[in-house]
Amino acid sequence: MRYRTFPNTDVRVSEVGFGTWTISTGWWGDKTDAEAVAMLRRALDEHGVTFFDAADAYGNGRAERQIAEAFRGRRDEIVIGTKVGYDIYDEEAQKARRGQQELPMRTDPAFLRFAVDKCLERLETDYIDVLQIHNAKMEHVRDAELWGTLRELQREGKIRAWGAAFGPAIGWLYESVELLEREPDINTIQMIWNVLEQHPGSAMIEAARRHAPNCCFNVRVTHASGMLEGKYTADTVFPENDHRRHRPRSWLVNGVQKVKTLDFLTREMTLGQAAIKWLLAEPLVVTTLPNVYDDEQLAEFAAASEKPDLTAAQLARVTELDETNFGVEEGPMSYKGAMTRERGANLDLQAARNPTGRPALQSAGAREN
């Protein structure tokens, strides 16, 4: 395993991290707490994974409790990221919730401090390495008091780095761009980005280069909801409680066709590993968070860090394929979030474009060692 450091901090993380929503929410299959804890320990002890990403909303604190159980007495060996912003303490909202419906959000200073203290309690620690606002919307981006509260928590030592996670679906371009413009000392953004879904993530990276010199990215949905694992066929059927079951069939059929064009990446590694190496070719990416839901995947993805870097020719070929949508004709993607700038706003044309090439290495990138 190789490691990178969040710029302007001493937060050092593994290039491949572990996102705990797959083992705590039931959306990717059910795991007992004992199974989850054992997998977390294997990630660290057998594969060198040190970054564990959670949220208070994952299983209403279950993910954080699993991390605490897995690494009790070993706090200095791991880096913990968690997210706040949803009011998981609103019992009436919990009762009314259906499926993966979002809970009400609260980001006022008093609630944020309360939520962070509850995270610390569940994690059995006195500090959080990386705290992010969970699925931040434009109203949160423009709330200076919110970000001021995170800075205060950082000064108090309760958190070491802060930022925002954007989602839950691909999009949210101008939320991230405006946050980078308004809060240029932000430490990190969690975004969706992968070989098959490059926009708007690439534009977010361009905006960070321009406005936030010490902002790096931790990337989720690294394999396009499993498509880039290279194991789907047009006949794949997902379990009834699996969120992928609810996607249109065209997503599966078109995705399988696109993946066939990427065989050239698999000469020295699996497609799943190549998907991670493509992300790590970007110096502003500090860590990747593939969806891990069994030991075989854990071993495969963790091993990606030490695989050979993709060549310039391979990266260029991926860019060419992206320009033609990997040879597949389909309608435009439906995005959530702000994908156009408000009238009268300071339009950042460079960030708004859908980049077709990877920029040269920049000194603001996450340090590697």
pLDDT attached to residue 331: 84
Spatial neighbors of 367 by CB under 8 A, at least 6 apart, are 4, 5, 7
Residue 181 near residue 322, CB atoms below 8 Å: no
| Domain range summary for the chain, segments of one domain joined by + | 11-368
Nearest to 150 by CA among 191, 108, 120, 178: 108
Rounded CA-CA distance 114/345 in Å is: 34
For 72, the token pair is 């009790």
For 180-238, what is the HEC assignment?
Answer: HHHCCCCCEEEEECECCECCCHHHHHHHHHHHCCCCEEEEECCCCCCHHHCCCCCCCCC
The b-or-e profile of 72-89 (16+ CB within 10 A means b, else e) is eeeeeebbbbbbbbbbbb
pLDDT in tens, 273-317: 999 999 999 999 999 999 998 999 999 999 999 999 999 999 999
Nearest to 198 by CA among 224, 179, 216, 166: 224
Residue 82 near residue 123, CB atoms below 8 Å: yes
Question: Which fold, 11-368?
Answer: TIM Barrel (3.20.20)
pLDDT attached to residue 275: 98
Write phi, then psi, for 114 (nearest 5 degrees). Answer: -60, -45
pLDDT attached to residue 343: 63
What stretch of H or E contains 81?
strand 79-84
Nearest to 18 by CA among 236, 295, 254: 295
pLDDT attached to residue 365: 54
Write phi, then psi, for 244 (nearest 5 degrees). Answer: -70, -20
pLDDT attached to residue 98: 67
Which segments in the chain show pLDDT lower than 70?
Answer: 27-29, 98-100, 243, 343-369
